[in-house]
Structure 1
Amino acid sequence: MFAISRCFRLSRCLPAFRRGLSESSQSGPRTLVAIDFDRTIVEQDSYLAVSQLLPTRQRKEMQNLIPKCGWLNFISRVLQLLHSEHKVNFATVAMRVRSLRAVPGMLRVVRRLARIPEVELCIVSDANSFFIDEWLQAYDIECLFAGGVFTNPACVQASGAVLVLPYQEQGDCELCPFNLCKGSVLEELTCSGRYERVIYVGDSCNDLCAMKRLREKDVACIRRGYELHGKIAAHGQELACSVLTWRDGHELVELLMPKIVA
């Protein structure tokens, strides 16, 4: 249906490949650290950052559509406008994504955890594979996420436009958008029997869905000052796992290390 010149790794294919690499070199109990991307690894929401390539008035009009149409439809429309009306191709979009700042200390978290043989890292995000891959490659850390990247697949068409597709189509979960239920991803991972424990790091209410699937021995790490932290008091009793709150990566790594090496 589409002429595609550059395809980015589909979220359902990549994790299986990466898990195969890890299984050949490691055995025994393992801990999975699953991390959100926007406002958890990178400081800014990547979709809003890319929308800043639009003229101010048009950007505000697009952002007004988010409550009604959702984030995936928002970024799809933004990318379409950038390419068709403003002649912005994938290379410019990639440069914008690569310029996003990491949450302070988060690169330290990722690199330190990746050095622990019993730990496997993955990303669970409602962003997309194009944005995430570009950013990880900019910091040369894509190989550290051996557990995979679970997100909306994206590709670059022959025209140079970026096309984003839904990871799934679901209507059962009210906490998550139609295109990605983070809880279903976490449930699949925890039920695989591969991980003795799961640590989930996030900031938003769709991360709550994933955290509700965690077990008593698992850990939810909620970023202070962001959406989920403000609402967790009303939902804390729904979580079976222990809960940590963190401000930045420097604090997060100090909180996590005793739990992982214990």
Structure 2
Amino acid sequence: MAPARCPLSDSRPSMSSALLASSLTSYSEKKDRSCLSQKFHDRPVRMAEIAVVFDFDKTILDCDSDDWVVDKFGLSEAFDRLRPTLPWNSLMDRMMMELHSRGKTVEEIADCLKEAPLHPKIVSAIKSAHASGCDLRILSDSNVFFIETILRHHGIMDCFAEINTNPGSVDAKGRLNVSPYQDFYHLSHGCKICPANMCKGAVMDKIRSSASAEGKKRFVYVGDGNADLCAGMKLEEEDVLLPRKGFPVWDLICRNPTLVKARIREWTDAAELETVLLNSVDALGRLENGNAKAIRPIPVACKFQTSLLDAAPKSPTVRREPEPCSSVV
């Protein structure tokens, strides 16, 4: 069986000496990072007015969960051959049917998902943000079976109040079925950034509405893909967008930073995400307590876009096609 192709954070290609030098973390920064998670666990709960929304693939998980399963079970050739003929969700459902026909059980699929790379720093960041009182949610184009299996395996399922994603359920025959979040054959969401089955901006509007009704005033959004820009565009000036540097959302923001009203704090890997996320949540908490200067806008370093993209981890298999977003950016 061919090894799964997945961009693990710990196996990135080496950077140029200049970029490596600029990315080295000082001793004091490392010390602050090591203490940050503990600081969050020790403090009283006072972040109840903050909602944090995560993408899943290549954000919480350090690869695409669909690609992980497809590659691990040796379905890459069939998947790539059928890719031009079927929408993504329909194709994943077809792959699940193929696995069932080969005698693969749902339990075997779950065991495969449990091996997918989720960095301990991500687990720590999620647990710390939850312990501080934040309302954590997921907005993903994966599916609920994949996401819940992985979250339960890592002991963080209970940290999330809500998971917004494509349905994934097991039928009476023991076959996993994957279906789209929205029936795009009968109703189009009309978004030019997002895939046909889910407009993340529209879902983010619903999340904001429900969370605001529960008293949430500030939002943090974490993501990496094109559609995560659509969700990020729903944030307000005192919210925070955490785009993964060198990934599609970063590229789109660099093309037109004015699309996003929220403060932007980029990240590259799990360790940096832990620091940036918890610092952002802490700053928002202080903002709620009257410190208007708790968070300062951070400009997007577009002049470094090319080198950052060259240095970023890339999966040899890129199956999700870019969404038609030229009219937006």
One-letter amino acid of the counterpart of residue 158, structure 1: A
Other-structure match for 1:168: 182
Q: More deviation in 184-193 or 37-46? A: 184-193
72, 97, 102: which one pairs with 2:118? 102
Which structure has more RCO (C-alpha within 8 Å, separation ≥ 6)?
Answer: 1
Other-structure match for 2:150: 135
TM-score by length of 2: 0.66
**2:274 counterpart of 1:256:** no
Quote the offset at 1:29 in angstroms.
Answer: 5.8
Other-structure match for 1:12: none
C-alpha deviations, 1:121-177, integer Å up to 9, x for none?
01111111100111111112110002x000111111122210012222343112112
Does the CA contact (< 8 Å) of 1:220 and 1:241 recur in 2? yes
Other-structure match for 1:159: 173
> How do residues 229-248 of structure 1 correspond to structure 2 at under 5 angstroms?
229-248=250-269
Quote the offset at 1:237 in angstroms.
Answer: 1.2
State the identity %. 30
TM-score by length of 1: 0.82
In the TM superposition, structure 1's runs of 4+ consecutive aligned residues that sit over 4 Å from their partners are 26-29
C-alpha deviations, 1:188-215, integer Å up to 9, x for none?
1223323201100000001111011111
Does the CA contact (< 8 Å) of 2:47 and 2:132 recur in 1? no
Other-structure match for 1:190: 208
Count of matched residue pairs: 232
Aligned mates of 1:64, 1:171 — CA distance in 2 = 28
Measured at CA, do residues 45 and 229 of structure 1 come closer, stay the same or move farther in structure 2, by a change above 3 Å?
A: same
One-letter amino acid of the counterpart of residue 142, structure 1: M
> How do residues 7-22 of structure 1 correspond to structure 2 at under 5 angstroms?
none
> How do residues 195-234 of structure 1 correspond to structure 2 at under 5 angstroms?
195-234=216-255
Measured at CA, do residues 28 and 253 of structure 1 come closer, stay the same or move farther in structure 2, by a change above 3 Å?
A: closer
C-alpha deviations, 1:44-92, integer Å up to 9, x for none?
110011112443xx522412544653321221111111112x2112111
Other-structure match for 1:16: none
Which structure has the greater CA radius of gyration?
A: 2
For structure 2, which runs of at least 5 residues remain unmatched after alignment? 1-44, 287-329
Aligned mates of 1:154, 1:177 — CA distance in 2 = 18
Does the CA contact (< 8 Å) of 1:203 and 1:228 recur in 2? yes
Quote the offset at 1:28 in angstroms.
Answer: 9.0
Does the CA contact (< 8 Å) of 1:108 and 1:249 recur in 2? no
Other-structure match for 2:7: none
Measured at CA, do residues 28 and 121 of structure 1 come closer, stay the same or move farther in structure 2, by a change above 3 Å?
A: closer
**2:128 counterpart of 1:112:** yes
Other-structure match for 2:28: none
Does the CA contact (< 8 Å) of 1:109 and 1:250 recur in 2? no
Aligned-pair RMSD on alpha carbons? 2.0
More strand, by proportion: 1
